[in-house]
Structure 1
Amino acid sequence: MTSAVTKTLPSTPLRRIDLNIKPYMASDNRIASWQIINTAVPLVLCCIAIAKTTEQLNVLSLILTPALFALIILFLSRSFSLMHDCGHHSLFKSKTANRSAAFLLSIFHAMPHHPWSRGHAFHHKHNGNWNRYRGPSALTTRLEYEKKSKNSQLLYQALRHPLTLFPGGFYYLVIKPRVALLLGFIELMANGIIDGFRKISNRKLFNPFTFINDHKSSFFYTKEEVYDTLANTICISLAWWWIGSAIGYWHFWILYTLIMSTSAAIMIAVFFVQHNFPGSYASDEDHWSYFKGAIDGSSFLIMPPILNWFTADIAYHHVHHLSERIPNYRLRHCHEDRQNNFEGVKRLRLDQLWDCFSLILWDNETLQLVSAKQSLKR
């Protein structure tokens, strides 16, 4: 009788297909509509309330203003997360509904949705591939950093200090899109004058819309980005004028600058720590894997339920990167149902987030994120 010998086979690496995440990709218009309502309505009401309470300085305003300020920041965080879902066409079932909702929410953030979502799609496509995508702070490599002068190194560190997120965030949301629009139209006008003379000489009528559609701009990749930025700018300019004339322009701009700077800083910070953390997947082009970028290059933020609600469960970022078509209201369920497969995902507590901001260099030799201090020790 031959004895059977049992061999222990090596465990098979986890693959995306093994997770069966397709059931979680279903969008629900009723849930999506309710999320828009329970975010936009309280946000508008809080904005009206803070405008009223800051009209004069008294004990009541000193108590209510900080609370209203915090609520506005939280609702803006939720609004941005919902707008982010719309960019992935996951919040609603139809592309038209997602684009319409995204445009509405983009007015709250003063940031055109279409250009941002295109750039964000690039991040998803190359997450973890540090040859292609260096994060929101445009990080450099350790070798490039060490070649810089001492002053250039100090400037590099200063520009990536968390405190710079406040002025940087305001620039990113409010100023940068308008600068791009202005420079884009200057470029259009310069080329348009030349093209217009050509049309006149050929006795053809110059059509600005046709020119925008055909023009290859240095500041916009597609004609949709031009129209979206223009429409967003018109809407928020009207809103600035209307609100400013109602409560006073100095009053409005002080509140608006403080709120938008803080909101943008928090959103960028959350995004940063979800990909820049100790041990994060930081591959080069040759060794990159989309799946490893999602599982090993995205963190799972451990937050109280109330903060998960205000951020629309974006803390389950590893699930979101497995498939951007999973709407926010199914991320937690997917994580809980497949949590045995996510044991290797990096868990980050709120008290650990500060450590992530020191990782401002990519070591393309060891394929890891390092701090400036670590670079100097080599």
Structure 2
Amino acid sequence: MQGNELVAVTRPFASEDRARSVYHVASTFAVLALATAVAAVAPYKPLRIFGSVIEGLVIVRAFILAHDFQHGALLRKSKVGSVIFGLYGALVLTPPRVWRQTHNYHHAHTAKIVGAQIGSYPVMTVEMWKRAPRGKRIAYALARHPLTILFGYVTIFLGGMCISAFLRNPKENWDSAAALVLHAALVTTITYFFGWEMTLLVLVGPLFIACALGSYLFYAQHNFPGVHMQPRQTWTFARAAVESSSFMRCGPIMSYFTGDIGYHHVHHLNAAIPFYRLREAMAAIPELQVEPQTSLSPRDILHCFSLKLWDPQAGKMVPYPKDAPPAEVAEPA
């Protein structure tokens, strides 16, 4: 089973259970509020730091819910949902307009050797890398560098989703500027009234954690051992979903915080499936029961980071060639 037929068998799982959706939204934001309160007012600093870390992780889960809403998989056509997730997107530096533009393009072009970089990380072949001028190599290496992902709060979200998006198209991406202004106002206000420690624990620290994890998830979902890239001429949607989107095995705790987005190949095959039905769909469809391709273990993270270029001859992602290093951009030891 492949192609349109494979997409068709996923459609029964794109049925939303409204009560279940409301429960997940309400419970997630309740946990987020509780974690924020612990980070803000707990009597012991270690407990406040713990609350801050949990807040950052729950921000990721809530983002997955917002992401599902944008796809029409959660609280479909809900005006209340639109208000909740629109405001949430602004608060976590993911304005709905630019996210919708880039993410929808990403779903329609995943794993194309040319053009896949919108809404994702750029991909060069080994030959493209060898022919690229020094400046282009540096830009490519920086875009995929682990430090760029670690500091995604600044590089990808503040810089890419807000500043760059607004400068690129101010009229279309006005909410990127609004998110930036809102964020600056929150940082200034909290710091003025409660001090920098409060700002770090309840806002900047959790966002740093959430943006770093989110940036890595974006990376590993399409840059993992076994990924298959396709030229435009032979690209197909179903193959890109199943063979070019990772299945990331997570334990129950990280499955909760990541909203089961580890079943990314299922999500790419049918983005209308609510996050809480992704594993059900995988279990029911043999073609989706792929071997675990990556995880959040340190070993798998380092392995994914080592993959830089697509080698058409080998049919896999490979590191930079030793005879053509990434132009003075250091890699982790």
Task: Confirm whether residue 44 of structure 1 aligns to residue 27 of structure 2.
Answer: no
Of 197, 204, 226, the match for 1:251: 197
Q: Establish whether residue 67 from structure 1 lines up as the match of residue 17 from structure 2.
A: no
Which residue of structure 2 lines up, in the alignment, with residue 189 of structure 1?
none
Partner of 1:14: 2
Is contact 1:170–1:260 with CA below 8 Å preserved after alignment?
A: no
Query: Cα gap change, 1:299/1:375 in structure 2, threshold over 3 Å: closer, same or farther?
Result: farther
Q: Rate the CA distance shift 1:48–1:246 in 2: closer, same or farther, 3 A.
A: farther
Correspondence for 2:66: 83
Query: In 2, are the aligned partners of 1:129 and 1:283 still within 8 Å (CA)?
Result: yes
Q: Find the counterpart in structure 2 of residue 360 from structure 1.
A: 308
Q: Residue 147 of structure 1 aligns with which residue?
A: 131
Q: How does 1:170-185 map to 2 (within 5 A)?
A: 170-180=154-164, 183=167
Does the alignment pair 1:283 with 2:266? no
Residues 348 and 175 (structure 1), Cα distance of their counterparts in 2 relative to 1, 3 Å cut = closer
Partner of 2:271, secondary structure, is coil
Q: In 1, are the aligned partners of 2:90 and 2:178 still within 8 Å (CA)?
A: no
Q: Residue 119 of structure 1: CA displacement? A: 0.4
Instruction: Give, in whole Å, the separation in 2 of the partners of 1:113 and 1:254.
Output: 25
Distance 1:51 1:266 in 2: 22
Tell me if structure 1 keeps the 8 A contact 2:163–2:177.
no
Match of 2:88 among 97, 105, 118: 105
1:38 partner letter: S
Q: Sequence identity of aligned pairs in percent?
A: 25
Q: What CA deviation, in whole Å up to 9, does each residue of 1:20-71 have, x standing for no partner?
A: 21111112332222222212222123223223349xxxxx31x313422321
Q: How far apart in 2 are the matches of 1:311 and 1:171? A: 21
Amino acid at match of 2:320: A
Matches within 5 A, 1:201-240: 218-219=168-169, 223=172, 225-226=173-174, 228-233=175-180, 235-240=182-187
- Shift in Å, 1:234: 5.2
* CA–CA separation in structure 1 for the residues paired with 2:90 and 2:143: 28
Q: Which has the larger radius of gyration?
A: 1
Task: State yes or no: 1:93 paired with 2:76.
Answer: yes
Aligned to 1:269: 216
Across the aligned residues of Structure 1 and Structure 2, the Cα RMSD in angstroms comes to 2.9
Contact 1:284 1:364 in 2 (8 A): no
Tell me, in whole angstroms, the C-alpha distance in 2 between the residues paired with 1:51 and 1:354.
34
Displacement of 1:254 in angstroms is 3.5
Change (3 A) 1:67 1:156: same
- Matched letter for residue 337 of structure 1: A
Q: Name the structure 1 match of 2:112.
A: 129
- Seen in structure 2, the aligned counterparts of structure 1 residues 148 and 17 have a Cα distance that, compared at 3 Å, is closer
Instruction: Give the Å deviation of 1:164.
Output: 2.6
CA contact (8 A) 2:114 2:123 kept: no
Task: Give 2:295's aligned residue.
Answer: 349
Question: Which TM-score applies when normalising by structure 2?
Answer: 0.84
Residue-by-residue CA offset, 1:224-244 (whole Å, 9 max, x unaligned): x32x33554454455444433
**Secondary structure in structure 1 of the residue aligned to 2:267:** helix
Return the offset for 1:81: 0.7
What is the CA–CA distance in structure 2 between the aligned matches of 1:288 and 1:159, rounded to whole Å?
24
8 Å contact from structure 2 (residues 151, 211) kept in 1: no
Greater mean alpha carbon deviation, residues 118-127 or residues 304-313:
304-313
Q: CA deviation at 1:257?
A: 3.1
State the 1:277 CA deviation. 1.0
In the alignment of these two chains, the number of paired residues is 320
Cα deviation code 1:112-146 (max 9, x no counterpart): 12211220010000112121213633233322322
Matched residue, 1:193: none
Instruction: Write the distance in 2 (CA, Å) between the matches of 1:179 and 1:336.
Output: 41
- Contact 2:56–2:205 (CA<8 Å) still a contact in 1? no
Q: Distance in 2 between matches of 1:244 and 1:41?
A: 25
Per-residue Cα deviation, 1:233-288 (whole angstroms, up to 9, x for no partner)? 4544554444334312x334434333322211111101211111122110010111
**8 Å contact kept, 1:43–1:76:** yes
Which residue pairs with 2:279 in the alignment? 332
Match of 2:331?
Answer: none
Gaps of 5+ in 1: 1-12, 55-59, 184-217
**1:167 partnered with 2:155:** no
Question: Structure 1's 230 and 287: CA in aligned 2 closer, same or farther, altered over 3 A?
Answer: same
1:128–1:290 Cα contact (<8 Å) kept: no
Task: Give the 3 Å change call, closer, same or farther, for CA 98–323 of structure 1 in structure 2.
Answer: farther
Q: Is the 8 A contact 1:318 1:345 kept in 2?
A: no
Q: Does residue 294 in structure 1 map to residue 277 in structure 2?
A: no
SS of equivalent residue, structure 1 residue 296 = helix
Counterpart of 1:211 in structure 2 is none
